[in-house]
Structure 1
Amino acid sequence: MIILPAIDIKDGRCVRLVQGDFSTTTQVAHDPLETAETFRKGGAVWLHMVDLDGAVEGTRKNEAIFLNVAAHSGLRVELGGGIRDMKTIEFYLTRGISRVVLGSAALSNPSLVAEAVKEFGAQLAVGIDAKNRKVATRGWLDTSEMDFLELAKRMEDMGVQTLIYTDISRDGTLKGPSFDQLRELSGEVCCKVIASGGISSIDDVRTLMKQGLYGAICGKSLYAGTLGLGEAVRVGGEQNVG
């Protein structure tokens, strides 16, 4: 299972939120590239980055930071937030980003997902963020009436190979991920499933490993010191995977 340390960017700063609430924004590091290099030295191979400004505005923001990290950190960068058209997808994937994550577009513009999967295959992932099982969009500011499993199955039918699942109620809380919903998701689809939100300790990582998940995104736990990246990587095992 790959461990993906997370760097969320808002207004050019490395921040963390609690349950997606922008009023809880807290700066957790000073320099994105230095932080990424620290994660690489800790054993990470992949890095999960989010453009929080882009997620809200639906346009490309902070791109210089993401491209700089991809070019100089030695990590494979997975990037989400505000990626809602082919132009943006192509922009990032042709400039060093290893995988892009579609979120809101998966619900509002499924034809984009189909086109992107056809063009870029495994370089595309879909992020499913849910609150009380209902899919949230536009930087988690809006909630739909679609159950997360229904969207996951639709994405699988389109050929999406990787899904990132976040239970918004757990994100940034250090209360552990939604193991039951992750188990439910991985049992219903054949996609690679990455857990995100709430991971707080090495015990959480071990439990996700037992569930057979493809990956785990760790953010606040690394910055707060409740989870050591080196130990998480050792428990996760092989990191150099696609």
Structure 2
Amino acid sequence: MSQHRPTGPNGRPGGVPALPDLPEATVARLPEYLRALHHIAETGNDTISSEGLAAAAGVNSAKLRKDLSHLGSYGTRGVGYDVALLIDQIEFTLGLDQRRAVALVGVGNLGHALAGYAGFASRGFRIAALFDADQARVGEPINGLDVRHISELAEVAAAESIAIGVIATPAAAAQDVADALVAAGVTSILNFAPCVLSVPEGVDVRKVDLAIELQILSFHEHRKSALTSLPGGLAEEAVGT
């Protein structure tokens, strides 16, 4: 089967397709495919094989082909995937064709770095507003935006049509911030605070905890050290070679 552009109700290519009901694991991998595809496009390649794209994204090719089949993309035998078309399909599925407005709450060291991250704009997001509870930070210019007081959140969220909020506050303040975001109509939250948030049904939360990621890596380091210390382990094998 060849790759095709989804058709809309009028049957014309490029019409608005129905969004597929994707497995969560597939959704989690689509941004990796998109990152790889943009890099491939920048190198001047118009097509890419499933094996080449899988290698660039760090997954196996069978898993990639299954993921992309959910989007109606099957590639062309002997040719591969049309890079530009696949970028369009993934961006549509992820909703990145709408350039979503984002509110960032908490402009300490982490929040300040996030506010200045240029990668958001190139991936379909616009930091529309910055907030903090510290009056000393209110009015501070960061990357073209002035920090606002958290009390202005509801008004600004409505004016900027903000649906995504990023929490970069200390853990003690995160739940109050989440409550304020939800009250302002924000339905998706990216939480950098090291805590679990309680939100109503219909509000999606993604948690980014760098300490947890480091602890997981620590486990792998600990496991490798234990394996090398066992009789017949890697350390002994190295000595015996």
Task: Tell me the TM-score range normalised by the shorter chain.
Answer: 0.3 to 0.5
Please identify the structure whose Cα radius of gyration is greater. Answer: 2
Q: Which has the higher contact order (CA 8 A, sep 6+)?
A: 1
Task: Considering fraction of residues, name the structure with more strand.
Answer: 1
| TM-score, normalization by structure 1 | 0.36
TM-score by length of 2: 0.36
Q: Identify the structure with the greater helix proportion.
A: 2
